[in-house]
Amino acid sequence: LWHSSAKDNAPTTVLTLDASAAPDSSSEAQVVEVPTVSGNSLRHQCVREPGWHGLAEALGLEPGLPGAGKIPPGVEALFSNGGNIQAGVKAPSNQHRLAQDIRAAYPLLDLLGGVTNTFDLGASRLQVAGWVVCREHRDSIGAAADLPAASVSIFDLVDDITHTRQATRDGLGQMILSFEALCPGTQVLVRFLLDDYTQPLTHGAFVAAVERYIQSGPIVGGQRARGFGAMRAEWFGITPESHWAEGYATYISENRERLLDGLVTGRLCTETVVCT
């Protein structure tokens, strides 16, 4: 996991493609489709899901069936998957002020963004990208290019998995299904980049979420119900200081009742019900 922010003063690299460097003859060029791990999936699995679970635990919310707990389904959806704007609704005239107040009250939403029933909270402050560490990505992964895995071709890291699904209990209606999986030992480099001037509490929400992810059996990709995607995660490069997460935990503790009431009522610490 690679973390960077404006406070780290880490240099950034803009990748460019010079057309003059392409081979003159098309016979000398080869287009290769390389398997990748979705940045959207990494954002959810590494940050959004553990961040929401950590907040719910800190506020004393008990696990339960989705949409059937203390908080409205719209609030749960906002934190767990970004939410949805209801069809045919009209945004309130003070939506920008409401969004500002909500993001100030819940740093996790300031980090990741989302939508209420009627309006968008604004862009996420977190950028996420991921690469499988392999020879084909060697020129794109910075310091990770020195890892031994960066000398191995991606095509030596991909395997075909075949399963048989039983449609009925008596064994009738079998269906053969196959999918590609990365071989055990494959490394994935994830880059997190926070926007300039990200507030300390928002920074803390990010660090707390990723630390929870690291410590709670990290998963990358799909098919985890079948045992796929189990990883061992650790910081590579810049390791965030623990005081960010400590400050966030202190804020949650000191404002527990207010934050919990905002979730249960759907007001999200505003004077208006924004999620139902």
pLDDT band at 185 (very low <50, low <70, confident <90, very high): confident
In this prediction, residues 104-111 reach a mean pLDDT of 98
End-to-end CA distance of the chain: 36
Q: What's the predicted TM-score (pTM) here? A: 0.84
By C-alpha distance, which of 83, 135, 82 is closest to 111?
82
Identify the pLDDT of residue 29.
67
pLDDT of residue 143: 87
Average pLDDT over residues 76-85: 93
pLDDT at 242 over 90: no
Instruction: Return the number of other C-beta atoms located less than 10 Å from residue 261's C-beta.
Output: 13
Six-digit token pair at 149?
């895995």
| Residue 218 pLDDT greater than 80, yes or no | yes
3/275: higher pLDDT: 275
Question: 272 Cβ partners below 8 Å, 6+ apart?
Answer: 92, 98
Residues 76, 82: Cα–Cα separation, whole Å: 9
- pLDDT band at 9, cuts 50/70/90? low
Distance CA 32, CA 49 (A): 33
pLDDT for the residue numbered 224: 75
Average pLDDT estimate for 128-137: 92
How far is the C-alpha of 59 from the C-alpha of 63, rounded, in Å? 12
Question: How do residues 27-58 score in pLDDT, each as one tens digit?
Answer: 666 777 888 888 999 999 999 999 999 999 99
How many degrees, rounded to 5, is the angle at CA 274 between CA 125 and CA 122? 20
- Give 11's pLDDT tier (boundaries 50, 70, 90): low
Q: Would you state the pLDDT for residue 2?
A: 66
Average pLDDT over all residues of the chain? 87
Q: How far apart are CA 91 and CA 274, in angstroms?
A: 10
